[in-house]
Homo-oligomer: A and B are copies of this chain.
Amino acid sequence: MIKRIGILTSGGDSPGMNAAIRAVTKVGLNSGLEVFGIYNGYKGMVEGYIEPLTRESIGEIVTRGGTILGSARLPEFKDIEVREKAIRQLRKRGIEAVVVIGGDGSYRGALELTHMGINCIGLPGTIDNDITCTDYTIGFQTALETIVDAVDKLRDTSNSHHRCSIVEVMGNRCGDLALWAGVACGADIVVTSDTGFDEQDILDRLRDLDMIKKKKHAIVIISEKITDVHQFAKKVTLNTGFSGRATVLGHIQRGGSPCPFDRMLASQMGEKAVDLLMQGIGGQCVAIRQNKIVSYPIEKALVMPSESKKPLTNLFERLS
């Protein structure tokens, strides 16, 4: 049986990472393991920035956004020499297995380490919901709440000035943040990498909302990296009866106290990760699928096709 495990957070942070760190630590300690925090992602693993986690060090973190372990990029981790150095750091401390919380880039590192003898389990920590094997990633629902709260605020002021609010949200590869926010806020138009961006069509629909449907304001939600929303807002002002205003929500979407859903999800996934490691299993990633906590081999997870967005897109349209 293993005795010592490590945990790290990697890639962009997401609300709920701390709840996952807490769960891994508490479940680990209560199962008789020693638990080590590896700081600043794989970088800290290579540099040996590794310290024991205790009940005290994780006290009260369940309520807080960000990650107490920090996160950093380390592209060099794809080099075997770098990974070997990391493994030496782990072995020196007797750490036999590691939980990696992050996106699918982080999963690759976890898989490589497993191949080199350190069992690793990945947890999906990203607000974008862009890990195809899981129905929800840790942080997605909280980011959505930040977006919906912001759009509810914009609606107040938009409504008072006959405006079209254009809101850019995160999630380029996966439009779930935009699409869910669209349904939840009663937006008029949602643009994602799936829907494509037909500028002329959108301007036509906005004109229709203004002149035919007599709407007092309009809300457009658009995934990042699709168009320059500030330029587009100007075109809305020029070409429709609405006054266009763009808002780029940016990094506030990554912050904030995790919502109960994310705290629960992170706790369940953290528990599962420890259980897998104690069974001697590595190279897997944890997911919630059909409302059950499950795990998949990372190789398989990385190539899973994403679920069709068709039903949600249809719902959005039927709510218009």
Contact = CB atoms under 8 A, between A and B. Distances in A.
Given A185-B62, A254-B157, A22 B146 contact: no
Interface string A165-186: 1000000000000001101111
Nearest to A230: B248
A128 interface: no
A123 to B, nearest CB: 15
What is the copy number of this chain in the assembly? 4
Interface in A153-200: 153-162, 165, 180-181, 183-186
Contacts of A70: 159-162, 216
A60 interface: yes
Contacts of A135: 291
B71 A160 contact: yes
A315 B271 contact: yes
B30 A64 contact: no
Given A62-B186, A72-B162, A291-B290, A154 B255 contact: yes
Contacts of A308: none
A165 to B, nearest CB: 7
A247 B257 contact: no
A141 B255 CA distance: 20
Interface in A136-150: 141, 144-148, 150
A96 interface: no
Most chain B CB neighbours (cut-off 10 Å) among A71, A153, A156: A156
Contacts of A4: none
Contacts of A152: 63, 255-257
Given A157-B254, A157-B255, A183-B264, A22 B162 contact: no
Nearest to A25: B319
B264 A13 contact: no
Interface of A is mostly: helix
B256 A245 contact: no
Contacts of A268: 315
Interface string A82-99: 000000000000000000
B156 A264 contact: no
Given A26-B318, A165-B251, A245-B251, A267 B183 contact: yes
A60 B161 contact: no
Nearest to A250: B247
A60 B204 CA distance: 23
The 9 closest A-B pairs by CB, nearest first: A153-B255, A65-B156, A66-B156, A290-B290, A156-B255, A184-B263, A66-B160, A184-B260, A157-B254
Given A63-B155, A261-B261, 12 more contacts: A13-B157, A26-B319, A70-B162, A72-B162, A148-B260, A153-B256, A183-B267, A184-B263, A184-B264, A184-B267, A248-B248, A290-B290
